[in-house]
Amino acid sequence: MKPSIGPWSGKKYFLDKMSFRDLVGAYFTHYAVMTYIALGAVLTVLAVRWTENVPASLVAAAIVLPIYPLVWYLLHRYVLHGRWLYRSPLTASLWKRIHFDHHQDPNDLSVLFGALYTTLPTIAMVTIPIGWLIGGPGAAAAAFASGVFTTCFYEFCHCVQHLRFVPKWQWLMRIKKLHLAHHFHSEKGNYGITNYFWDRVLGTLYNEPKRFPRSATVFNLGYDEEEARRFPWVAALTPARAEGAEERRAGAR
């Protein structure tokens, strides 16, 4: 859903046309990011008010940090890159919004951010039970807040990975290279965003694209003309490729 008010009203942002300063302005005025920040602040206040065991709440918040990369990896690999969502008319539009559109035009900032109706329930389902088991409602709020703020960090790094910008920090340079390979060489690997530990463990990490087979489905995720005939719902919702998308793809390579 496109916001009808605010800086994003009626505007399109393309990361290959933006400076780092432009990105900062667009990032902090996007309704999803503003929601995360506001929700994270409320959860932090609740965690302070509800916490009876401070160490337990701190542990709950901290334990989310190593769990998040695994959750993201599994969702990215098996849900976002799975083919079962587009094969049902009930979930085809969901899949189109949360990942197909991003691979079609990776530099379109409006479809880079996750959809709140998918991200927030997922964060809650993962973090709240962990926190509750560790220390009750205060720790649950702390874990949820940690997940929300971690999502903010992931989203910003994801933006920078697509921005026409050369990071000076070697870590950021490395994850940018790995993520762009996922978008422009083969989507069958490099599923992490800021952390590629699970790619390494599960055999999907590739550092050198030249040594990894190029994928013919890197932009359509396997939803080709044959699949569109069998499962037409995404195609029916997808207009002709946005003007300039091919140039944006080429420019980011």
- Report the pLDDT value the prediction gives residue 192, as an integer from 0 to 100: 97
- Report the pLDDT value the prediction gives residue 38, as an integer from 0 to 100: 98
- Report the pLDDT value the prediction gives residue 4, as an integer from 0 to 100: 45
**Please, what is the average pLDDT of the chain?**
91
Contact indicator for 146, 61 with CB cutoff of 8 Å:
yes
SS (H, E, C) the chain: CCCCCCCCCCCCCEHHHCCHHHHHHHHHCCHHHHHHHHHHHHHHHHHHHHCCCHHHHHHHHHHHHHHHHHHHHHHHHHHHCCCCCCCCCCCHHHHHHHHHHHHHCCCEHHHCCCCHHHHHHHHHHHHHHHHHHHHHHHHHHHHHHHHHHHHHHHHHHHHHHHCCCCCCCHHHHHHHHHHHHHHHCCCCCCCCCCCCHHHHHHCCCCCCHHHCCCCCCCCCCCCCHHHHHHCCHHHHHCCCCCCCHHHHHHHHC
pLDDT tens digits for range 115-161: 999 999 999 999 999 999 999 999 999 999 999 999 999 999 999 99
- Report the pLDDT value the prediction gives residue 238, as an integer from 0 to 100: 86
- Report the pLDDT value the prediction gives residue 1, as an integer from 0 to 100: 46
- Report the pLDDT value the prediction gives residue 251, as an integer from 0 to 100: 52
- Report the pLDDT value the prediction gives residue 98, as an integer from 0 to 100: 94
Where the chain has pLDDT below 70, the residues are: 1-7, 9-10, 240-253
Instruction: Provide the β-strand partners of residue 108.
Output: 14
CA distance 151 to 49: 23
Question: For residue 168, what are its two tokens?
Answer: 């000076």
